[in-house]
Amino acid sequence: MVNIFFRIIFSFLLVMLLLLLLMNDKVALGQDGDPVGSTQGGGGREMVPALFIFGDSLIDNANYYPYGIDFNGGPTGRFSNGYTMVDEIAELLGLPLIPAYSEASGAQVLHGVNYASATTGILDITGRNFVGRVPFDQQIRNFQNTLDQVTDNLGASDVSNAIARCIFFVGMGSNDYLNNYLRPNYNTKNQYNAQQYADLLVSEYSRQLTTLYNLGERKFVLAGLGRMGCIPSILAQNQMDRCSEEVNQLVMPFNANVKTMINNLNANLPGARFTFIDIARMFEDLLTNYRSYGFSVIDRGCCGIGRNGGQITCLPFQTPCANREQYVFWDAFHPTEAVNIMFGRKALYGDQSVVYPMNIQQLTSL
């Protein structure tokens, strides 16, 4: 009887020890249930502790109807009719939707934070006509504030180990063209040709990403620029009603430079793993084969005013198109949820033709 009693006690203590270990693990980044509300992750195991997001309106939140309206069971408050690409990536990683920096506090930050800001860019002067923008340098400082907050609660060693396993998604550069180089109130075009401007941007970009690396991050996902000459805003300026190859060619040196930068950073920063999502290639495939993907409208925004639905972007309380699932573009600048979901899945599972040198799923296993 004594032996049986001690076996029971030993088994009980072993179970309690395992529970305590699991609870301690869950207190660390990304394991404390659902800190951002009722929207759950992908339903599977969390592949990473957290997802931290930096960028512009392609992955930022919007705050007025009809942006982000819950048309398809998706989240509210996005520059889309539902999910952005990072929403889909978060769900596939088993994480809940990532809260915006302005709304995240306490336990909410444990699965990650979205620092993205509309109209902003790599350069601090980009988007200066718009109020409330948060340039990339400031987004990095905001992340450091989050890091300090979490470190105070969890301790430097635990946070350092967790941060190194998190995914940092960065989508920057589009506004450095749309709200800088291509704007008549900027002198940038007169100062730099396409290659010189790409060199300037990527030099700054490399410095900024190295700052994040020095803060402890090791796994980076960088989104390239898409076929910007084909967005409704640019189409609306083209009397020929077709993609502007001039704009498409303008941004090509940026993507090429970013790929070279990734190779250099992977080689020179110990433990760093950078991967590149080739958005331009994804968009080229989509616009060529759009019908096979279930789309029928590729040259106008679902919600917008004027030629191609792109002369004025979606206004507050404007009624969008009824068949939005058939549109590639939601407004003058941004893709629909259907496109965002497709691109998010390709980023996670795609081959090296669209994600280089590895996809996000492979990155999480390192």
Q: Note whether 223 and 169 are within 8 A (CB).
A: yes
Q: Which of 105, 285, 334, 365 is catalytic?
A: 334
Rounded to the nearest angstrom, the gap between the alpha carbon of residue 337 and the centroid of all alpha carbons in its chain is 14
Residue 33: C-alpha distances to residues 40, 44, 189 (Å): 9, 12, 49
Q: Which of 38, 56, 57, 80 is catalytic?
A: 57
What CA dihedral angle connects 101, 104, 109 and 114, to 10 degrees? -30
- With CA atoms as reference, report the closest residue to 298 among 339, 267, 262: 339
The DSSP symbol for 325 reads G
Query: Does residue 331 carry a catalytic annotation?
Result: yes
Q: Which of 160, 233, 331, 353 is catalytic?
A: 331
Listing DSSP states for 3-72 in one string gives HHHHHHHHHHHHHHHHHHHHHHHHHTTT-SS-TTSS----SS--SSS-EEEEESTTTS---STTTT--TT
Residues 6+ apart with CB under 8 A from 23: none
> Which positions are annotated as active-site residues?
57, 331, 334
